[in-house]
Amino acid sequence: MIMRNNVLNLFLKDALKSFRRNYIISTSSIATVMSTLFILGIFLIFLLNVKSALIGIYSQFEIQVTLMDDIKITDQQNIYNKIKAAKGVTDITFGNKKQSSENVKKKLDNRNKSLLADFENDTPVSASYIIKVNRSEDIPKIISQTNGLQGINEINSKQSIPKKIFVIVKTLQWIGVVLFLILMVASSFLIKNTIKLAIYPRRNEIIIMQYVGATDWFIRWPFIFEGIIIGFLGAVSAVIVIYFLYSFVYRKVTPYLVMMSISFIDPSFILTTISWSFILIGIIMSVIGSILGIRKFLIV
């Protein structure tokens, strides 16, 4: 155990020595990781905010159950109980709407405003339940449970909009996956080249270590540790820049979002959740780049 700790300390010291010796190249590698994760982070926050805004829109989607004018009290109570027991219902409001006025409005000539006003004043009022749902997927289930009940005149819902929204979100998610893979490959390639530049002055040292019996992995580990340091520092730098930039934008736009009943993710989410993922991604990219960068020099 002590022997293993001594070896790890040796690898770490060697990595730090190489990091200081090739400060400019190491800084370039850190900047590469930072810029990659910055672009990825901006797109990720954009996608999360789009989904967060859509959740707010979902909460405003409603089902309107219009009751018959001559409905019995027992039938009305039965409809209410069925709606209340349905899974996904978040709120039930009893209201009135002017029967079929919207359909008639579409048919009336816009120029005949006086006729339209007379119609609205004379239109009979019909009672209805306004149902707010938890998710758009709950709309068909609730309609199925209430459809056909005694005393219901018609049921209206807006199901076409969520389907379009789902298509947009799924498209954005696939774009995010593709962008992430492209950035990962590009960043690993750039890090590999910068690591090569750092290793090149030590090529004779590597050859000597091979001649005295050092294994390939014994030679690799200091560079892997160096990659871990580069990935960690690059990821932390990216998280800090993203946090302060997003916090600034968040403070500016929040007052306008509140008026539109839209909420964005809190800046603290970057530090509590995104930061750990980015640190892991940064370390993985840098380690891959280090392994690929030293591979050429291990071939004798």
pLDDT band at 237 (very low <50, low <70, confident <90, very high): very high
- pLDDT, residue 60, reads 57
- pLDDT, residue 59, reads 53
**HSE, side-chain direction, 13 A CA sphere, residue 130:** 10
- pLDDT, residue 259, reads 66
pLDDT, tens digit, 9 for 90 and up, residues 128-138: 888 877 666 67
Q: What is the pTM of this model?
A: 0.60
- Contact partners, residue 188, CB within 8 Å, separation at least 6: 285, 288, 289, 292
Give me the count of residues in the chain: 300
Q: Is pLDDT at 192 greater than 60 in this prediction?
A: yes
The domain locations on the chain are 2-57+164-298, 62-157
Q: Is pLDDT at 246 greater than 90 in this prediction?
A: yes
Q: Is pLDDT at 121 greater than 50 in this prediction?
A: no
Gap between the Cα atoms of 10 and 227, Å rounded: 16
Gap between the Cα atoms of 202 and 206, Å rounded: 6
10 Å CB burial of residue 181 (0-12, 13-18, 19+) is exposed
Q: Which of 147, 171, 154, 291 is nearest to 231 (CA)?
A: 291
- pLDDT, residue 136, reads 64
- pLDDT, residue 119, reads 41
Cβ atoms of 230 and 33 within 8 Å: the answer is yes
Reduce the DSSP state of residue 153 to 3 states and report it: strand
- pLDDT, residue 101, reads 41
Instruction: Kindly report the CATH class assigned to 62-157.
Output: alpha beta
pLDDT, tens digit, 9 for 90 and up, residues 61-74: 678 888 888 888 88
Name the one residue in this structure whose structure tokens are 């306004």.
130
pLDDT, tens digit, 9 for 90 and up, residues 140-170: 788 888 887 888 888 877 554 556 666 777 7
- Beta strands across the sheet bearing 89-98: 89-98, 125-133, 62-67, 152-157
